Amino acid sequence: MRAVIQRVKAAKVTVLDELVSSVGPGLCVLVGIKASDTAKDVEYLVRKILALRLFEEEGKRWQKSVKDLNLELLCVSQFTLYHRLKGNKPDFSAAMKGEEAQELYNHFLDRLGQSYDSSKIKDGKFGAYMQVHIENDGPVTINLESPEQKDADREVDK
């Protein structure tokens, strides 16, 4: 699993000019799921996202996490994070497909809510053509990817 995490002053998602979700200060997390991802990848990302120290305390940078400061998260599914270029055209065959990806993404949202405060977790609309409006703070952008699992580990997950 891959996440692009941005520290934001505010962020919102709209679909067909309708507001779907919005947050104030916190994080906007773009989430990509590859075909081989499992619940172990979800656990890794949830733990890391909630523990990342991207916020200041008393003028010192990188001291507090979103959880420490009780801030919000806006999560947006984005299969395009798993692409490779074929010439100049992106190929998304590494991304997990539709229904299976939606199940794992929903599990990711559930685990965030269980590990933090579900009222602070906001979401886009899975599979929709969305407009994501981000007021980046810093800017601070962190790329995060779950570690590759060995084949033997993956067999246990199934």
Q: What is the pLDDT along the chain (158 residues), one digit of tens a residue?
A: 999 999 999 999 999 999 999 999 999 999 999 999 999 999 999 999 999 999 999 999 999 999 999 999 999 999 999 999 999 999 999 999 999 999 999 999 999 999 999 999 999 999 999 999 999 999 999 999 999 876 545 444 44
Give the C-alpha separation, 95 to 26, whole Å.
27
H or E element that contains 144? strand 131-145
CB-based contact 66:24 (threshold 8 Å)? no
Cis peptide before 147 (omega within 30 of 0): no
pLDDT of 102-137, one tens digit each?
999 999 999 999 999 999 999 999 999 999 999 999
Neighbours of 146 (CB within 10 A): 19
Q: What phi and psi, each to the nearest 5 degrees, are found at residue 109?
A: -65, -45
pTM for this structure?
A: 0.91
Give the C-alpha separation, 147 to 125, whole Å.
27
Instruction: Name all domains of the chain by residue range, CATH numbers in brackets.
Output: 2-146 (3.50.80.10)
Sequence-distant (≥ 6) Cβ neighbours of residue 76 within 8 angstroms? 13, 28, 29, 30, 31, 123, 124, 130, 132
CA dihedral 138, 82, 124, 145 (to 10 degrees): -50
Three-state DSSP at 102 gives: helix
